[in-house]
Structure 1
Amino acid sequence: MHIPDGYLSPQTCAVGYAIAVPAWAVAVRRVQRVVRNRHVPTLAVLAAVSFLVMMFNIPIPDGTTAHAIGATVIAILLGPWAAVLAVSVALGFQALLFGDGGVLAFGFNCANMAVLAPFAGYGVYKLIAGRSELTAPRRALAAAAGGYAGINAAAFAAAIEFGLQPDLFHNSAGAPLYAPYHLSQTIPAMMLAHLTIAGIAEGILTGGVVAYLQRANLPLLRVNHGGVAADDEKAAVSDGKNAGKRRVRPLHVALGAVAVMVVLTPLGLLAPGGAFGEDAPEDLDLHKYGLSAVPSGLNKYNGFWHHALFNGYDFTSDSHPTVGYIVSAVVGIAIVGAAIFLITMAVRWVAGRRGASQRHETAQS
């Protein structure tokens, strides 16, 4: 679902940034109010997990791959604006360090996966969960449905963005300048993979996390569910006399899950091709799309960003691809987690200084 540079026109990319930039601005303001200091490490870990699950490419029967995002689970735990910030940072480092997704197309990649996905998923979750207790099974089912809906909303948006390019941007002979795929091709290609494979993976991830936290760490679920009742007996299990031990156990489970996913990230290398629309221009089947040459705009902008240190998640040129992928995963989750931690703490520090200054001025007046 990561759109590379060259597949969208510069004009389209500008629209993507016009959507994403205001969302980032609002997210920064909202996060400083919602995410307290004690929750900053949680947000950092969730951002790192989002980076990791987006690396975890699942082979699709047609020879391509698809991946989960992790946006809806962040939205459920810390709010959709926290998800905007976390997933955007993960996408940014994927583009800059690993060449996964374009820099020009970064705006729309964030609009799709960091804005639309968490808000759509969170909306479905709230709709289905209703006023059910925080410990009710309905909450976990609602989370799974939200995750499924969120990633498919993002996939559908990406399909539209791809599919409009040949109709909006072509030369005098009618040949496409950027992505050569029409809506009749992009929508089936994107939605088949996400409705059947990636969406299910996202649903299992989101619902599974919520179901586990209902039993093992109910206080974390309460962060973004103020005023929602919980079954007293089940809450006592989560918050009981052994709470000290129980606070550690979810961390152990999370670290174990991350370790397993890091080892399994090269699974996507088994597929002969990449995700739909993410192949290099030279890999395009020109005959299939009725082209005599690679679209000129696609050829011009596809190599816009040349500075990815570990392009294609290949940590060293001499390493085996599997080793490079695993090392890239470890480096990536460390960088993303640290970046989110520093950004969030900086935002809260600036907000604190501003508040102190305003209180001082009020006291003097």
Structure 2
Amino acid sequence: MDGLDHEDEWSDLSPLVAPGERDDETSLRPRTLDEFVGQPRVREQLQLVLQGATRRGAPPDHVLLSGPPGLGKTSLAMIIAAELGRPIRITSGPALERAGDLAAMLSNLVEGEVMFIDEIHRIARPAEEMLYLAMEDFRVDVVVGKGPGATSIPLEIAPFTLVGATTRSGSLTGPLRDRFGFTAHMEFYVPEDLEQVLRRSAVILGVDLRPDGAEEIAGRSRGTPRIANRLLRRVRDYAEVRADGAVDRAIARAALKVYDVDELGLDRLDRAVLSALVRSFGGGPVGVATLAVAVGEEQTTVEEVCEPYLVRAGMLARTPRGRVATALAWSHLGLTAPPDAPGWAAPTLFDE
């Protein structure tokens, strides 16, 4: 759903997304709050913010959307513009390297327009400082000239609504965070909501998705709609090539086995990390740099792609001495956990 985020928690099934795939991602985006599945608290709060602003005839407060990748932050930004009936201008934090880049965009905004900055925590400091004044007073100060002869020219800009998205809210500076009138934190989806997402996507893509097939895919989607939609497209390919096109539980399982996605949603790299940790280092503790070398990946890949889900799934523990495999990780690999593994419970007389 949130296809424009620049970081992804899960390593995709292929390093590149084909043009047709990108078109599919765009077509699967919900257009209104009523179409948006999940995040009930965020939807209710956002609806109140937008309806209140509409009744007052003024742009709503600036909105900050935070949470892991793939949960729908970009989709919500587009929905905000659609609900307000206003155009949206999209950019990203890394693209705003200079204050002049931001000033050019702000000066071209029309009244009431929505400006969306993805990964806003990565915006350059000079541009961020200019953004403070624009968010509060709807003006920017443009510096003309250099040295002692430089002058600052105030430039009025049209009232607008800034929507910022971040996967690392803790990386935002305090002054920037405080200038948002509404902050929403996106949570991971429960399987029931993911099944609803999959049913809607199946209708749009023309996939014959059976209830048990949707349940199987949702259970392997890491609580993330973007991943659920990707898996649905891969299962669709398998069903069309090796079956009659219908996606039931058996077809979903067979397809996801081909794509190395197991019953818990772990892919090849996830299992490689766990296997190295358990088999090569006895379950840890081991430093993440050493672990990355063992699996032949960059350290940042292990830290940003694998670790978040493995920790959330209870298979990996971060300790001051390094990463440690939990008892669940040993069990998932079909091995017996040592007594000192986190999460290990010794059998009692009452255990069979």
TM bracket, shorter-chain basis? under 0.3
- Decide which structure has the larger Cα Rg and report it: 2
Higher RCO (Cα < 8 Å, 6 or more apart): 1
Flag the structure with higher strand content.
Answer: 2
Q: Would you tell me which structure has more helix in proportion to its own residues?
A: 1
TM-score (norm 2): 0.23
